[in-house]
Amino acid sequence: MTDFRRVLSVLAESGIEFIVVGGVAAAAHGSPRATFDLDVVYRRTPQNLARLVAALGPLHPSLRGAPPGLPFNFDVQTLKAGLNFTLCTDFGLLVLIGDIAGGGDYDALLPHSTLQAVHGASCRFVDLDTLIHLKRTAGRPKDFEAIAELELLRDATDRQQ
Amino acid sequence: MAPQRTRERSSIDDIIDVYKKDVDLGLLLEGLKLTVEQRLDRLASFIELAEELRSSVRAAKSAKV
């Protein structure tokens, strides 16, 4: 089970630069759709990679779906060598995205995110327009229903303003 | 990066329009009354419930064997 509030807390309190995308971002915007993992776009500066390793290392991250016993060192070298990592941690499922289709990297996404307070932690969430764009770009049939919902949410939000 | 709202319709728009007809608007509007923190708490509660149900089903299946 993913305790995404604890994961968000760990990331935020460690000073990690990240932006929440995916299903948790949708939920933050009001979507009632369930999601069971936390997707974040992370900044790939050397300092942020080091912070990620320091913060997530104690949570024993491993590659989701990998054969048991497959060697995996969650360190700066590994993060540098890869880009996107689908992880199991002690607090659940976490997806680290270095570059997201339709959105680019952290710096490209940053102007399209907002800071939100979540149980004392300050976290960035991608904005609704961009979230819709990301899902449309991904083009996965399983997202069509979610896109419909998010666009209606956007319409409702626009009417409220 | 996020496209203008007046973008050209794409091939998936017709599909999304079909899905829109079945969306529970009432549920969406209820969500908009909540703060971001409350929305995430709602999600967390659902995840916890789902895990409890899974555990119960697993236990029930083990008991039957």
Q: Is the pLDDT of residue B2 over 60?
A: no
Residues A42, A20: contact at Cβ < 8 Å? no
Residue with token string 């320091």: A54
CA B7 from chain center: how many Å? 26
User: Is-contact A41 A21, C-beta < 8 A?
Assistant: yes
Q: What percent of chain B has pLDDT over 90?
A: 60
For chain B, say whether A140 makes contact (Cβ under 8 Å). Answer: no
Those residues with Cβ within 8 angstroms of residue B26's Cβ, 6 or more apart along the chain or in another chain: none
B31 compared with B9, residue with greater pLDDT: B31
Can you state the angle between helices A46-56 and A4-13, rounded to 10 degrees? 130
Residues in a beta bridge with A96: A40, A85
Statement: residue B4 has pLDDT above 60: no
The number of folded domains in chain A is: 1
The residue of chain A with its CA nearest to that of B3 is A133
Which residues, including other chains, have CB under 8 Å from residue A75's CB and lie 6 or more apart? A53
Assigned token pair, A64: 């989701």
How far is the CA of A11 from the CAs of A5, A38, A54, A113, A124, in angstroms? 10, 12, 10, 16, 11
Inter-chain CB proximity A152 and B23 less than 8 Å: yes
Q: Is the ipTM beyond the 0.85 threshold? A: yes
Residue B6 has a pLDDT of 60
* CA–CA dist A85, A112 (Å, integer): 22
Looking at the domain assignment, is residue A148 inside a domain? yes
Is the pLDDT score of B5 beyond 60? no
**Interface contact flag, A160 B32, Cβ < 8 Å:** yes
pLDDT tens per residue, range B14-35: 999 999 999 999 999 999 999 9
- The boundaries of the domain holding residue A101 are 4-154
* Nearest-Cα residue of chain A relative to residue B17: A148
Contact A35, A27 (CB under 8 A): yes
Q: Are the C-beta atoms of residues A28 and A125 closer than 8 Å to each other?
A: yes
DSSP string, A55-82: HHGGG--EETTPPTT-----SHHHHHH-
Q: Is residue A161 part of a domain?
A: no
Assess A31–B contact: CB distance below 8 Å, yes or no.
yes
pLDDT values of chain A reduced to their tens digit, one per residue, 161 residues: 889 899 999 999 999 999 999 999 999 999 999 999 999 999 999 999 999 999 999 999 999 988 878 888 999 999 999 999 999 999 999 999 999 999 999 999 999 999 999 988 899 999 999 999 999 998 888 899 999 999 999 999 888 77
**What is the overall mean pLDDT for chain B?**
86
**A-chain residue closest to B55, CA distance:** A1
Task: Specify the CATH number for the domain of residue A9.
Answer: 3.30.460.40
Residue B33: the pLDDT is 94
